[in-house]
Structure 1
Amino acid sequence: MAHHLVEVAVQGPWSLATSRAFWEGFTPSELPRHDGEALRSTFLVEGEWRRASVSVTQRGATAVLELSGDGDLDLAAAQVCRFLSLDVDGSGWPAVGARDPVIAGAQKAFSGLRPCGFYSPYEAAAWSVLAQRTSMAQAAEVKAALSVDGVFPSPAELRSLDLDLPGRKQEYLRAVADAALDGLLDAATLRAMKPAVAVLAVQQVKGLGPFAAELVVLRGANEPDAVPHNESRLTDEVRERYGRPLAEVSEAWRPYRTWASVHLRVLRERRLRGEMAASGR
């Protein structure tokens, strides 16, 4: 098994501790909890679909990636940077808070947070199918049952499984697997497109509608500057806080519209949890 050490100079605010805490609570692709400060994870390297493991630590403005695995660890390192949003120049992110007091409050509450969550668009697409017409908790149980040692099956493995799932979910999962094998869900390819074009491209995969396609592009490929138009909880949060439409408000968030959207969603979830706790529910 090969080993590889990569040091990444992170541009702009970033906190490994904040990002790790966020990801550990991200039900669709929850990060396994480990002792110590490092973020540790095992995932499939896109395209090769071989396992790679990473331990990420922070040294000031530098992310230190210790990788191991049998595949291309340079590809694995690039993927880690993508799913942790370390590949984005965030030096202009504080200026968004300077323009928008609501975002400034979120930045203060979640200092150094960068969106993370899905290892690849393929996994995001598969999750979208599993979550259709079911609760997030139930979908997470199915996803965990399909995984081996916490790693979701490769597209070829997923395609070969005979699953007892309701409706057309098995058919849709096979369509997702085929799309991944054909390169239609490749993160670099999707990131090279304009976000709206990428979302339309993903919708060509059977079973993936507008909401799922946005999840695949914004949280699977981790596109930093797009607005989710089909996420009602974000729309509700913007209406409550700004009293103006999301499309109008989000113009001040460029070129980090995804980041701002994620911050608002996290802010909303924390507030709602607090309200539930206060009411004794």
Structure 2
Amino acid sequence: MADHHGEVAVQGPWSLATSRAFWEGFTPSALPRRDGGALRSEFLVEGEWRRASVSVTQAGATAVLSLSGDGDLDLAAAQVCRFLSLDVDGSGWPAVGSRDPVIAAAQAAFPGLRPCGFYSPYEAAAWSVLSQRTSMAQAARMKAALAVDGVFPPPASVRALDLDLPGRKPEYLRAVAEAALDGLLDAVTLRAMKPAAAVLAVQQVKGLGPFAAELVVLRGANAPDAVPYNEARLTDEVRERYGRPSAEVSEAWRPYRTWAAVHLRVLREQRLGGDRRAAM
């Protein structure tokens, strides 16, 4: 097993503690709670689908990554930066708050928060299937039952499993696995596309509708600048706070529209209670 150590200069506001607390409460892919200041996790390296372990600490504006695993740890490090949104230049994010007082309040409430939670578009797509027509808690139990030592199984394993799941979930989950093996859910590819085109591409996978496709692109690939138009709770929050549709108010959020949407969702769940950070 190889080891990899590296430092990443993070551009713009970032707090590991804030992001870690957010992820620990993110029902679809909750980060295990552990003592200490480091963020520690295990995940599958996209494309290779080999297991890797990571420890992330923060030293000022620098993220310190320590990885181990049997696969390509350079790929793994890039994936960590992607799923923690460390690969995004956030130096212009404070200016969004200067233009929009609602976002300014969210930035003050969650200083240094960057969207994180899903390790890959594949895992986001799998969650989308498991959570269809069921509660978050039930979907989380199904996902945990499929996991091997806390890590969601690779696509080839899912494709071969005799899945004891309700409805058409087995069929749809196998379709997600096939798509991942065919490279249709590759994060780098999806991030290189315009978000609207990426969402349409993901909808070609059986069982993934508009809401699921937006989750895969915006939170699985962590595309930083797109608006989810099929997220009812976000739509409600925007209407209540702005009195105008998302398409209008979100222009002030560029080029961090996903970040703004996540912040608004967290604000809503904090205010109304319930299953915090459950989706967008």
Scaled to the shorter chain, the TM-score interval is over 0.9
Query: How big is each residue's C-alpha offset from its partner over 1:152-180, in whole Å with a ceiling of 9 and x where there is no partner?
Result: 00000011111111111100001000000
Task: Give TM-score, length-normalised by structure 1.
Answer: 0.97
Aligned length, in residue pairs: 274
Give the 4+ runs in structure 1 shifted more than 3 A: none
* In structure 1, distance between residues paired with 2:139 and 2:52: 25
* In structure 2, distance between residues paired with 1:271 and 1:167: 34
CA RMSD in angstroms, aligned pairs only: 0.7
* In structure 1, distance between residues paired with 2:216 and 2:158: 18
Cα offset for 1:266? 0.3
* Percent of aligned pairs with the same amino acid: 88
Partner AA of 1:216 in structure 2:
V
Query: How big is each residue's C-alpha offset from its partner over 1:126-168, in whole Å with a ceiling of 9 and x where there is no partner?
Result: 0000000000000000000100111000000011111111111
Identify the residue that residue 26 of structure 1 maps to in structure 2: 26
Identify the residue that residue 116 of structure 2 maps to in structure 1: 116
Cα offset for 1:45? 0.0
* In structure 2, distance between residues paired with 1:27 and 1:235: 20
* In structure 1, distance between residues paired with 2:47 and 2:246: 35
Identify the residue that residue 278 of structure 2 maps to in structure 1: none
Query: How big is each residue's C-alpha offset from its partner over 1:49-93, in whole Å with a ceiling of 9 and x where there is no partner?
Result: 000000000000000000000000000000000000000000000
Identify the residue that residue 59 of structure 1 maps to in structure 2: 59
Matched, 1:95 2:95: yes
Cα offset for 1:245? 0.8
* In structure 1, distance between residues paired with 2:182 and 2:163: 22
* In structure 2, distance between residues paired with 1:36 and 1:272: 30
* In structure 1, distance between residues paired with 2:37 and 2:7: 17
* In structure 1, distance between residues paired with 2:146 and 2:212: 20
Matched, 1:144 2:144: yes
Matched, 1:271 2:262: no
Q: State the SS of the aligned residue for 2:227.
A: coil
Identify the residue that residue 160 of structure 1 maps to in structure 2: 160
Partner AA of 1:105 in structure 2:
A
Cα offset for 1:119? 0.1
Identify the residue that residue 203 of structure 2 maps to in structure 1: 203
Q: State the SS of the aligned residue for 2:273.
A: helix
Gaps of 5+ in 1: 275-281
Q: State the SS of the aligned residue for 1:35.
A: coil
* In structure 1, distance between residues paired with 2:126 and 2:228: 19
* In structure 1, distance between residues paired with 2:132 and 2:271: 26
Q: State the SS of the aligned residue for 1:6.
A: strand
* In structure 2, distance between residues paired with 1:245 and 1:185: 30
Gaps of 5+ in 2: 275-280
Q: State the SS of the aligned residue for 1:58.
A: strand
Identify the residue that residue 70 of structure 2 maps to in structure 1: 70
* In structure 2, distance between residues paired with 1:224 and 1:124: 16
* In structure 1, distance between residues paired with 2:239 and 2:37: 37
Cα offset for 1:273? 1.8
Q: State the SS of the aligned residue for 1:180.
A: helix
Q: State the SS of the aligned residue for 1:250.
A: helix
Matched, 1:226 2:240: no
Task: Give TM-score, length-normalised by structure 2.
Answer: 0.97
Partner AA of 2:191 in structure 1:
R
* In structure 2, distance between residues paired with 1:150 and 1:102: 37
